[in-house]
Structure 1
Amino acid sequence: MLRSETAASPERRAAALAGLRAYQDAERPAPRPPKPAIATAGRAKLRDYGGSGLPVVFVPSLINPPLVLDLARGNSLLRWLSRQGVRPLLVDWGTPTPDDHAQDATAHVERLLLPLLHSLDRPPALVGYCLGGTMAIAAAAATTLAGLVTIAAPWRFSAYGDALDPISALWDEAYATCAQLGVVPMEVLQSGFWQLDPARTVAKFERFARLAPGGSAEARAFVALEDWANGGAPLTFAAGRQMFDDFFSADLPGAGRWTIEGKTVDPQSLDCPALSFVSTTDRIVPAASAARIGEVRELAMGHVGMIVGGRARAALWQPLADWLSGLRATR
């Protein structure tokens, strides 16, 4: 990809490689200890971020670690929300073992997410980000909730349009190896993300090479975000197969043919207040593919920027807190 994107400019290639080396060599702070788990279901845990009031369960994607919602000191949606009159709880999917390799996304909802929700003493609100939002919709069809929020949650997968061809080609190439391993390694998924916008992938490392040395705040933020984006447990093979074959290829959710606990998941018939954040500039979950349930708010922000970017607090954090506060007031 680097050769292709910089074929006409050796200077750009050198700058991108310098940025990559600077990223690899950057100092990292000691990892923060995980928040305590108040419930477990299989390998999954429900981690408590404190606060009081309405429990709000955050469902992250199965892809990448869940800590984009708690990225760094001073840039944590969950820690900020814990001071806004709610009680954020984070689903930590854990690392799949060989016994888990047959768990598809449906099984993650039925065997992990729903038991975690049922462990609480009152119906929570559910907030799902990216594929976690897709799964949160499915959970909402199978249990009672105080409310549902989706953030850049793909639902109409056929709306990916021309992007479906490279996604399908990626899966065709990786299928046999992933089937043998029993998992879909993060490297396979990350290469797919790079292909969605290869020019931006190269440009961001060029830019990092120009940042002030010595660990500036901007450089530290870049490293934290890239570590998150390039890390995480592998996806179970069954979840990968369902995502690529049943979601992207067959669009079972968008076609109304995905079932949870024997019930067809219909986002428009959910019996709880709902809010959807949709990005109009998202390359990972294009606006046409995103779930639109209940009140819909459109943001001209990137897929990750809406959670951790410089405008995230005003554009998403505060509106989310306000909506949850209104929800709490009606309980």
Structure 2
Amino acid sequence: MAADDTSLPDHPTDDQPASPASTPSSFARSTPPAPVQTPRDTAGEVMDQHHTFDRLMTARVGALTGGLSVTSIMSAWVDWGTHMMQAPGTALSLWQEGAKMATRLAIHSAKVTAGQEAPPIIKPDPGDNRFRDPAWQTYPYSLWVEGFLLGQSWWMAAACGTRGVSNQHRRQVSFMMRQMLDVVAPPNIPWLNPQIVKTTLETGGANWRRGMTNFFDDVDRQISGRPPAGVEEYPVGERLAITPGRVVFRNKLMELIQYSPTTETVHKEPILVVPAWIMKYYILDLQPHNSLVKYLVDQGFTVFMISWMNPGPDDWDLSLDDYRRMGVMEALDIVTALTGEKVHATGYCLGGTLLSIAAATMAQRQDERLQTVTLIAAQTDFTEAGELTLFIDESQLSLLEDIMWDQGYLDTKQMAGAFQMLRSNDLIWSRMIKEYALGERAPINDLMAWNADQTRMPYRMHSQYLRALFLENRLSRGRYAIGGKTIAMRDIDCPVFAVGTERDHIAPWESVYKVHLPTNTEITFVLASGGHNGGIVSEPGHPRRHYRIATQQPDDTYVDPQTWKNLVNPQEGSWWPEWARWLSTRSSSERVPARAEGNRKKGYPPLDAAPGTYIYMK
């Protein structure tokens, strides 16, 4: 494999500038020309025109389908359907199982209707919270629940039990079947939901009037581009992201914030936080009681935070390597210039993946400015990247690329739909029931307000990220190149602290745990309770939190994720103090006087007060 194998011949790469293709004036756009290289012969210009027209049509189709590839969806159904037709034995087995289920349900229904005691035939999965209301256990609602659960079990067996279907298509069919089953689930049908029926009778239908008011308010907010109801209660800079600090550097891509010290002395080594650019950084600085930034500052650390710019159409050509160079590396240059010390580098989600790339590149170039690396809910190996991989195949990627090529970026709405589908019961159906059927506005909290403050993704960068990392997994396979040279995670020799969360549907903890495989250094791994965001915003004193922690040395035998989880006992409380202790023990014992924000003499005067200006970009 060549050292520059990262380069994609059909797409702009970190090491290859996007070269404009000849585009007819009738198709001229401010966004980039088609990246696919067409044959350069006598008909080359005509082929470019046809190719451009094809991409425009694909982008329009993608707008109608919400960014989902119909071809990808149909391919999965065709693969499953044709193999099912070739499996009469499987079909017979499913028919027999269905007949047994129907018979059991009929007998059970007869007993319950006659007033006899009868144990449930089937119970919801432990994580299924749709039927927690005790009313679901009463007649006749209990029969509808059991009938639905039996039918759901049968359909999922049909989706997963056919031999010959590709694993990707099997997972896609299972996912789509779950979505269709959710539509007909008893909780989502008003006259089958005991809570809706009871509320309607008690209020004389006033709940539906309130629900319609909520619905039209949401539609108006969607059309006008206003945030969801309740977000205005959490203004950024007033109630969120209020830890004192100053912007000490700004370029086209990011602002660098240095936070004001709260202790007289601080650790010599500062902390640089690289957040994800898919959302605003202040998930790590919500309110004073649950701000990870404030917690670190109060522990005597000098904290620097990158605040990413929200890209627009003119930023289509920002590459993944631009984020590394103009983001991580420029920030690191400023931090080391201001402090003169090595740095505790920390990356969250996509920021952690980017930091891993930067750290591996630095190790290859013998740049030793990193004291430690912390990866929070960040993946370096994407072979088990969770249900998000359902949306990543060649057809889906081509569709997304054409949409981004047309717009210059991937819009927030086009990303939000996919994330909501992954947890449709929690993020779509339960909200619709509460707000539209019961007429109750769900109270919003700081995390929900942050979640509504989304950002866009530049065309070139997001295409590279999805192809090189998600689809082809080049970083963990030793095929990711920077400047024409392949980098490797095993070159990172500073200690690593990695955090996964038990219910993470974006970066599953088993995937985060895979950082053990391509690296050859000391790794301390933490498995925290909660999900992708809630498990990270887990301040001391937060109720019902626990975590597991263990350290592996380079020479230790590898332990698989489930074995690791069974061997390591859970501890009550927040994982934040463990991280602070880990950072302290890997810092110099000597402390220095607290540092002021910026340094005019060194050419970095303090600029705007935190949270800066980029955070307000819409």
For normalisation by structure 1, the TM-score amounts to 0.85
Equivalent residue for 1:127? Answer: 346
Higher relative contact order (CA 8 A, sep 6+): 1
Contact 2:314 2:408 in 1 (8 A): no
- Residue 139 of structure 1: CA displacement? 1.7
- Match of residue 80 from structure 1: 295
What is the aligned-residue identity percentage? Answer: 22
Q: Alignment partner for residue 61 of structure 1, among 271, 276, 279?
A: 276
- Does residue 41 of the first structure (1) align with residue 41 of the second (2)? no
Shift of 1:275: 0.9
Aligned residue in 2 for 1:243: 465
Contact 1:284 1:303 in 2 (8 A): yes
SS at match of 1:39: strand
Aligned partner of 1:159 among 364, 370, 384: 384
Q: 1:18 to 1:236 in 2, by over 3 A?
A: same
Matched, 1:10 2:189: yes
Q: Say which one has the larger Rg.
A: 2
Residues 16 and 195 of structure 1: CA distance in aligned 2, closer, same or farther (over 3 Å): farther
Equivalent in 421, 432, 441 of residue 195 of structure 1: 421
Seen in structure 2, the aligned counterparts of structure 1 residues 28 and 97 have a Cα distance that, compared at 3 Å, is same
What is the Cα deviation at residue 161 of structure 1? 6.4
Map 1:156-305 to 2 at 5 A: 156-160=381-385, 163-168=388-393, 170-202=396-428, 205=431, 209=435, 219-221=443-445, 224-290=446-512, 291-293=514-516, 294-305=523-534
Distance 2:420 2:413 in 1: 10
Aligned-partner Cα distance in 2 for 1:60–1:137: 13
Shift of the alpha carbon at 1:235? 0.8
Q: Which amino acid aligns with 2:489?
A: P
Distance 2:589 2:487 in 1: 26
Task: Measure how far apart 1:4 and its partner are.
Answer: 6.6
**Structure 1 residues 63, 161: closer, same or farther in 2, change over 3 A?**
closer
Listed as ranges, the gaps of 5+ residues in structure 1 are none
Question: Secondary structure at 2:531's aligned position in 1?
Answer: coil
User: What SS does structure 2 have at the residue aligned with 1:328?
Assistant: coil
Q: Which runs of 5+ in 2 are unaligned?
A: 1-175, 197-207, 219-226, 517-522, 548-572, 591-618
Quick one: structure 1 residues 330 and 140, their matched pair in 2 at CA, closer, same or farther if it must change by over 3 Å? farther
Which residue of the partner structure matches residue 30 of structure 1?
235
Q: In terms of mean alpha carbon deviation, does 23-32 or 188-197 score higher?
A: 23-32
CA contact (8 A) 2:476 2:489 kept: no
Native 8 Å contact 1:156 1:288 kept in 2:
no
Structure with greater proportional strand content: 1
CA 1:256–1:29: 2 relative to 1, 3 Å: same
Instruction: Decide whether aligned partners of structure 1 residues 16 and 119 sit closer, same or farther in structure 2, where only a CA change above 3 A counts.
Output: farther
Is residue 19–residue 208 contact of structure 1 (8 Å, CA) maintained in 2? no
Structure 1 residue identity aligned to 2:380: W
Question: Cα deviation per residue 1:50-96 (whole Å; 9 max; x = unaligned)?
Answer: 23433101111121111111122322111121100111211111122
Deviations 1:78-122 (A, max 9, x none): 112110011121111112255532122222002322011011232
Matched, 1:322 2:581: yes
* 1:184 maps to amino acid: L
CA contact (8 A) 1:149 1:276 kept: yes
Higher mean Cα deviation, 102-111 or 132-141? Answer: 102-111
CA contact (8 A) 2:386 2:507 kept: no
Change (3 A) 1:7 1:186: same
Q: What's the counterpart of residue 319 of structure 2?
A: 104
Matching residue's letter, 2:374: V
* Aligned Cα root-mean-square deviation (Å): 3.3
Aligned residue for 2:358? Answer: 139
* Partner deviation per Cα, 1:275-321 (whole Å, 9 max, x = no partner): 11122331101123225252222223211112224338933321111
Count matched residues: 325
How far the C-alpha of 1:241 sits from its partner, in A, is 0.4
**Greater Cα offset, 280-289 or 144-153:** 280-289
Residue deviations 1:10-48, cap 9 Å, x none?
337989988876993325143216642112233311111
Instruction: Report the Cα distance in structure 2 between the residues aligned to 1:5 and 1:137, rounded to whole angstroms.
Output: 38
> How many angstroms does 1:267 deviate by?
2.3
Spell out, residue by residue over 1:211-243, the C-alpha distance to the aligned partner (whole angstroms, 9 max, x if none). xx999xx9342xx22232232221111121012
Instruction: Indicate if the aligned counterparts of 1:129 and 1:151 stay in contact, CA closer than 8 A.
Output: yes
Q: Alpha carbons of 1:103 and 1:328: their partners in 2 closer, same or farther (altered >3 Å)?
A: same
Alpha-carbon distance in 1 for matches of 2:413, 2:432:
21
Distance 1:220 1:196, change over 3 A: closer
Q: Is the 8 A contact 1:60 1:129 kept in 2?
A: yes
Indicate the SS of the match to 1:271.
Answer: coil
Structure 1 residue 135, shift from structure 2 partner: 0.7
1:150 aligns to 2:375 (yes or no): yes
Q: Which range is displaced more, 127-136 or 252-261?
A: 252-261
Residues 171/28 of structure 1: CA separation in 2 closer, same or farther (3 Å cut): farther
Residue 71 of structure 2 corresponds to which residue in structure 1? none
Give the counterpart of 1:95 among 296, 305, 310: 310
Q: Which moved more, 1:11-20 or 1:148-157?
A: 11-20
Give the Cα separation in 2 of the matches to 1:244 and 1:195: 19
| Residues 1:252 and 1:234: Cα distance change in structure 2 (over 3 Å) | same
